[in-house]
Structure 1
Amino acid sequence: MFTTYSSKIKAFRVIAEYLNFGDEVIKLNQLRKQSDIMELVGHPKNPRLLKVKDPAKTLFLTFSSQLHEVELALLEEVQSRSNLGTARKVAEICLSDQSDEAKLAELSSCLETNVQKTESGFKLGF
């Protein structure tokens, strides 16, 4: 299952808020504004789009490196606290995000199947 940038940012934001990491929350809010576009530009199923234009590639690489920096900062903070309560809370946040994404994927698949059934059963009659 592929994790979207939006869902990854959402999970990181919840973790950053739990850790009272205000600077990272601000960075994540800024990254969230760009994540939908970056989803299209850097999607692994559409690698050709990344080759189309250098500006798009530059924007994506900047976005990706900023997200990676936030991820490392959160990881370092969790490791520096090194207590069981923090580890459990962070794991709980990550697991709930994965289950939400699995539910969305299941719903999307169901809707896609229903649309295909409807389209195959629909015939124009003149």
Structure 2
Amino acid sequence: MEEKIKYEMEFPIHVSPSLLYQYISTPSGMSEWYADNVNSRGEFFTFIWSESEEKAKLLGKKSGERIKFRWVEDDDTDYYFEMRIQVDEITKDVSLMVTDFAEEDEIEEGKMLWENMISNLKQILGST
């Protein structure tokens, strides 16, 4: 299996951190923009799209701040994906920081996917 490379992205979102956290940490919130449907049982989240279904394990979360998952297929690895809310201390601007891993030739595709999904999220939140 090819090694995956870590990449990070920052998305400014004009919305309150507490509201944003609801959308990145709950099955109902995530099913609005991340997948067609999201179910959770204990620490496992199932993400359902029209063509596929993927399971991820919740590695950790901090209320109002961040959530971190590992895909079940990456179980024996250090790979994960994390969404973290960052608030600028001075301007109070809110950003969603995304950390993910992809094989070298799939990073651009991964970034485009996140950009599309975050753009859906911004529409739902009414943030331009």
Q: Give the TM-score range, shorter chain.
A: 0.3 to 0.5
Greater relative contact order structure (CA < 8 Å, 6+ sep):
2
Q: Which has the higher helix share?
A: 1
TM-score normalized by the length of structure 2: 0.35
The structure number with the bigger radius of gyration is: 1
